Amino acid sequence: MSGFIISTIPDRCKRCFSCIRECPAKAILVSGGQARIIEERCIACGHCIKVCSQCAKLVSSDATLVLEMLKSEPDKKKIAVLAPSFAASFPENYYKVITGLKEIGFDLVSEVSFGADLTSNSYISALMEGKKKPVISSTCPAVFNFIQKYYQALVPNLATIVSPVIALGKFLRKEYGKNSKIVFIGPCVAKKAEILDESVRGVIDFALSFAELKMIFEGESLDINTLEDGYFDPPHSNMGKALPLAGGLLKATDLPGDVLDEEIIVVEGKEKVVEIIEEIANNNINARFVDILFCEGCISGPAIDSELNYYSRREKVIEFIKRDLKQLDKKVWRSNIYNSRDIDFSREFKLKSQRKPVPPEKTIEAILRSIGKFGKENELNCGSCGYATCREFAISIGKGLGEIEMCLPHLLDTINNALEHLRKTQEQLQNAEKLASIGQLAAGVAHEINNPLGTIMVYSSLLQKQLAKAGTAPSDYNEDLNLILQEANRCKSIVANLLNFARQGKLKISEFDVPELIGGIVRKLKVSGKFTDIDCQILDFGKISKIQADKDQIEQVITNILVNAIDAVEYTEKKEIRIGAEEKEKHLYIYISDSGCGIKKEEHKKLYTPFFTTKEPGKGTGLGLAITYGIIKMHRGDIYFESEEGKGTKFTVKLPLILNLNN
């Protein structure tokens, strides 16, 4: 058997974290989205197996080793010890299982329940000796594993008595010699860990689950339904047969189990077990004896491999008990018990602490903040991570048992943010492709228009001069020529903008002071009369580093946005423009807001499209923001805006302080 009793099959683990939710020892580490069993923390209770819908938990198997042993070593007695819950796993043919075991090579098939009979006197003695109260039963290996690893103060409370399986193994080795081979078969995963414990190692050679036994029968092409009923070999058990039922140990030891008896408590099931152990640790229990089973009786063991529900399994085991007890010879049974008087059924339990210290409060708070939990109101305690509360989850991360991606709400927020970022990136790519193709077209058109436009302007000027010399031209001719020159100059300006727009990222990088640049732009616009009746404020920039960029192009960006802001407030009662800037995370953020008319929602996506304008005909070319967008992207920056129709617009320009054109 390998050291790992339970492990995870990575390809099957689907991040449901049900195993974490069910693990009482928190012995599961999540790494890379995979739930991995931590061997030294695991108590082998098997609850993670029961709740894993993807069958991603693998239990170590002795099946191959058992088959090899059965087919070799003919000189050794081979004994199967069968747990009494086998009647629940093989409900229709449980006596045939005994015959089947002999068919595959076992010489003897014994009842584990006789081991419970063997230890009954030891429990009575433990109670009589005044052992530390309350005495905790040691029949369930998951229970004493849990106490040894996580409740060390309760180790002295454990009954220093071997489990029924080990007791029977010791009896059989006395009867048939130390060289005999003994194989336990039952519903318990923890038994696989128990037989490897150094205090009892070598008593039981192998441990099989009922599921493994069924696979062996199938692999050997053995249909047990075709076999005759078989019966257990001596020693036969008495009331130890009740062991797999809740309170079965009390029945075997003939201790009272009355519900009103405050001296004895019977506890079964994971939640109740954790609760009672916590209560005992806090000195809140005054009972003399506590019988604890991690499962709801062994008939609910993780390897029971039965489709029957709890009540049907219980009924089937009771049927077997009543049927089998009729064949018991009490005199022979007493003789066997007497013959075991010199066998030592005691054992010791060691401290195996696996408790990890709780992280400092500052660490817990930092982890909570990293998943968006800034206060109690943010702690949803949804349990999707497998932990009952967000705080428990943060503590597990602090202990190195989890990872932030286990938090579903945080993961969904991260995905939503990523999708939003992807959407914006796709829009930017679409804009970039559109601008690139329009830029190529614009460059060609500008070149073709520039030449005839120059000719028109030259000959218009010459004609104007000739008419002026002749002194014979009517005044309206002069006005017409001025209009031609004026419109030709406007076309020249449009062509210049087209060429700027089509420019292929040639930047003249220098280091300059942005607040100083903004101040100069505002002064120029004020001198030109652009800010008439407008309240323009430059906010306190604070301490801002110099920026590496193309100064002329950044000036064009700020000028374009300011001119648009001036136009936006032209017909509004409140005429305010605010300019601010701040430095954060190695970037400079420039904010320009206005109290203007705002931008209609349906126009948001068109804003950076060349030749799209909301201005009056003849007032704008629709190239300003397209050029601005191109310049900012060449600088590895970003531009975005917030706008509400009738209330104004705020543009934000984000630029790196140090421009690296290689990225």
Domain chopping of the chain, boundaries:
6-51, 61-298+310-339, 361-406, 422-504, 507-663
Q: 51-65, 148-162, 335-349, 408-422: which has the minimum mean pLDDT? A: 408-422
Give the Cα separation of 288 and 110 in Å (integer). Answer: 32
Calpha distance 191→166 (Å, rounded):
10
Give the SS3 label for residue 569: coil
**Residue range 419-459, pLDDT digits in tens:** 888 887 787 677 666 656 665 666 666 666 777 877 888 88
Radius of gyration of the chain (CA): 43
Predicted confidence at residue 256, as pLDDT, reads 64
359 and 398 Cβ atoms separated by less than 8 Å: yes
Q: What is the mean pLDDT of residues 166-187?
A: 94
Q: What average pLDDT does the segment 192-205 reach? A: 94
Q: Helices (H) and strands (E) in the chain — how many of each? A: 21, 18
Q: What's the average model confidence in pLDDT over 503-530? A: 84
Question: What pLDDT is attached to residue 617?
Answer: 57
**Confidence bin at 609 (pLDDT 50/70/90):** confident
pLDDT attached to residue 353:
87
Question: How many other CB atoms are there within 10 angstroms of residue 93's CB atom?
Answer: 16
| Structure confidence at residue 64 (pLDDT) | 94
CB 245 within 8 A of CB 120: no
Q: Is the dihedral of CA 143, 148, 151, 155 positive or negative?
A: positive
pLDDT digits (tens, 9 = 90+) for 206-248: 999 999 999 999 999 999 999 999 999 999 999 999 988 888 8
> How far is Cα 163 from Cα 191, in angstroms, rounded to an integer?
10
Q: Are 545 and 658 in contact (CB under 8 A)?
A: no
Task: Give the contacts of 113 (CB within 8 A, at least 6 positions apart).
Answer: 83, 84, 164, 237, 240, 241, 242, 243, 252
* CA of residue 311 relative to chain centroid, distance: 36
Q: Which residues contact 420 (CB under 8 A, 6 or more apart)?
A: none
**In the structure, what pLDDT confidence band is assigned to residue 191 with cuts at 50, 70 and 90?**
very high
351-371 mean pLDDT: 89
Q: Parallel, antiparallel, or unpaired: how do β-strands 547-550 and 576-584 relate?
A: unpaired
Q: What angle do CA 104, 108, 114 make, to 5 degrees?
A: 130
Q: Which band of pLDDT confidence, cut at 50, 70 and 90, is reported for residue 377?
A: confident
pLDDT tens digits, one per residue of 103-122: 999 999 999 999 999 998 88
Per-residue pLDDT, 621 = 63
What would the mean pLDDT of 395-408 be, rounded to a whole number?
84
Please tell me the predicted confidence (pLDDT) of residue 268.
Answer: 92
* Percent of the chain residues past pLDDT 70, beyond the cut: 90
CATH of domain 507-663: 3.30.565.10
| pLDDT score, position 1 | 45
List Cβ neighbours of 233 (8 Å cut-off, separation of 6 or more).
108, 109, 110
The sign one gets for the Cα dihedral 387, 390, 394, 397 is positive
Distance CA 341, CA 326 (A): 26
Q: Which residues of 98-121 are buried (b: 16+ CB within 10 A; e: fewer)?
A: bbbbbebbbbbbbbbbbbbbbbbb
The chain-wide mean pLDDT, for the chain, equals: 86
List beta partners, residue 346. Answer: 161
- Name which residue leads in pLDDT, 10 or 291: 291
| pLDDT at residue 259, rounded to an integer | 47
Strand intervals (E) in 383-534: 509-512
pLDDT in tens, 252-276: 877 666 545 678 899 999 999 999 9
Complete edge-to-edge strand list for the sheet that includes strand 108-111: 108-111, 78-82, 181-186, 206-209
Q: Higher-confidence residue: 585 or 608?
A: 585
- To 5 degrees, how large is the angle CA 169–CA 170–CA 171? 90
Dig out the tokens for 370 from the structure. 């990293």
Q: What type of residue is 293? A: L
Burial (CB count within 10 angstroms: exposed 0-12, middle 13-18, buried 19+), residue 462 = exposed
Q: 138: which residues sit within 8 A by CB, 6+ positions away?
A: 144, 158, 159, 160, 161, 162, 163, 347, 349
Given a cut of 80, whether residue 50 has pLDDT beyond it is yes
Side chain identity at residue 602, one-letter code: E
The pLDDT, as a whole number, for residue 68 is: 93
Q: What is the DSSP letter of 133?
A: S
Span of 122-136, 158-172, 590-604 with lowest mean pLDDT? 122-136
- Per the CB < 8 A criterion, the answer to whether 556 and 628 are in contact is yes
- Residue 586 clears pLDDT 60, i.e. is over it: yes
pLDDT band per the 50, 70, 90 thresholds, residue 633 = confident
Token readout for 402 is: 């989890």
Q: Judge whether residue 597 has pLDDT over 50.
A: yes
Q: For the ranges 85-89, 423-427, 513-517, which has the lowest average pLDDT?
A: 423-427
Instruction: Classify domain 422-504 by CATH architecture.
Output: Orthogonal Bundle (1.10)
> Topology of domain 6-51, per CATH?
Alpha-Beta Plaits (3.30.70)
Contact of 464 with 478, CB cutoff 8 Å:
yes
Model confidence over 279-327: pLDDT tens digits? 999 999 988 899 999 999 899 999 999 889 999 999 999 999 999 888 8
pLDDT higher than threshold 50 for residue 2: no
Angle at alpha carbon of residue 433, lines to 427 and 439, rounded to 5°: 130
Q: Which of 102-116, 128-142, 401-415 has the highest mean pLDDT?
A: 102-116
What span, in angstroms and rounded, lies between the C-alpha atoms of 408 and 385? 7
Instruction: Determine the pLDDT at residue 383.
Output: 80
Is the confidence at residue 332, as pLDDT, over 90?
yes
Nearest alpha carbon to residue 240 among 230, 232, 250, 231: 250
| Eight-class DSSP state of 232 | P
